[in-house]
Amino acid sequence: MGILNVTPDSFSDGGQWIDVSQAVAHALEMLRDGADIIDVGGESTRPGHEPVPADEELRRVIPVIRAIREHAPDSIISIDSYKAQVADAAVTAGAKIVNDVWGFLRDPDMAQVAAKHKVPAVVMHNQEHTEYEDLIHDIIRSLRRSIRTAVAAGLPPELIIIDPGIGFGKTALQNLDTMREMAELRVLGRPILLGTSRKSTIGRVLGGLPATDRVEGTAATVALGIERGAEIVRVHDVKYMKRVAMMTDAIVRPGRGGFTGE
């Protein structure tokens, strides 16, 4: 999953892709580099971000989704939003996946949108604080609630993808613990998405590296995440992370990475 932030304030690439033509060009580049999904987001979710009204988020994402669909009609686009109004309009415009960083627990209408359109949905673990009784089990408990919410709205369970929410409601050490114990999420029986790309925990572990210089750290988390069960990795640096994913798949998932030995 290639990240396309059409925002002025995202932590890593804010302002780079706010022009529609530039955003589409970057999306097409990521597709050429091996992205299977383009994740379009119109509101930054970095710590301390300013919330964006739905109409402004729509103004940012809808033209980009339509343009990507025009230039790459077979591409899979996801909408990164926790607002039902935005998700509904985005799917109508051509998005095929809903990616909700609040796991259907912030906007009560989000689950209904996914169910109405019968599109796959990513439900991510998130919370306002960093207090846990038992970190991984609390994450699993919250994700179960998100899954129940989706199913109650009418979304088939097979369309639900889970995300442990690295960087959301967690300290740096808790992020590392979550990745270390991520295999426990398999108990939920749903595909796992992992989004670690360029995040601050990587920068802290590597001595304060800026977001644009965290590719090796991201690669380590992608490889480990796949070994722990991640089916989708959400990344900025598609070309390099595609290679990491293919190599890791060849080792831990024989036959699924496309390498047959011939």
Question: Nearest 5 degrees, angle CA 259-CA 261-CA 262?
Answer: 105
Domain assignment of residue 125, yes or no: yes
> Domain of 132: which CATH number?
3.20.20.20
Q: What is the pLDDT of residues 201-232, one digit of tens each?
A: 999 999 999 999 999 999 999 999 999 999 99
Kindly give the interhelix angle for 238-252 and 215-227, rounded to the nearest 10 degrees: 30
| Residue of 60, 190, 214, 234 with catalytic role | 234
| Residue of 199, 214, 228, 242 with catalytic role | 199
**How many structural domains is the chain composed of?**
1
3-state secondary structure of 198: coil
Domain assignment of residue 226, yes or no: yes
The CA distance from 163 to 140, in Å, is 10
Q: What is the pLDDT of residues 79-89, one digit of tens each?
A: 999 999 999 99
The model's pTM: 0.93
More confident residue, 50 or 88: 88
pLDDT band at 58 (very low <50, low <70, confident <90, very high): very high
* CB proximity list for 243: less than 8 A, separation 6 or greater: none
Q: Around Cβ 66, how many Cβ atoms within 10 Å?
A: 16
Residue-level pLDDT at 235: 98
Residue 80 tokens read as: 């990164």
Which residues share a beta bridge with 100? 123
Domain assignment of residue 256, yes or no: no
Catalytic site includes residue 228 = no
3-state secondary structure of 4: strand
Residue 200 tokens read as: 């601050």
Residue where the block lists tokens 């639900």: 160
Domain assignment of residue 57, yes or no: yes
How big is the chain, counted in residues?
Answer: 262
Catalytic site includes residue 234 = yes
pLDDT over threshold 50, residue 11:
no
pLDDT over threshold 70, residue 46:
no
Domain that holds residue 225: 2-251
Alpha carbon 2 to its chain's center: 9
pLDDT band at 31 (very low <50, low <70, confident <90, very high): very high
Share of the chain above pLDDT 70, in %: 94
pLDDT over threshold 60, residue 13:
no
Domain assignment of residue 260, yes or no: no
Phi then psi for residue 221, to 5 deg, are -70, -35
Phi then psi for residue 71, to 5 deg, are -85, -25
Torsion sign (Cα): 95, 99, 100, 104: positive
Domain assignment of residue 16, yes or no: yes
Domain assignment of residue 257, yes or no: no
Q: How far is CA 129 from CA 78, 199, 232, in A?
A: 27, 18, 26
Domain assignment of residue 261, yes or no: no
Residue-level pLDDT at 30: 97
Question: Nearest 5 degrees, angle CA 49-CA 98-CA 103?
Answer: 65
The CA distance from 12 to 39, in Å, is 15
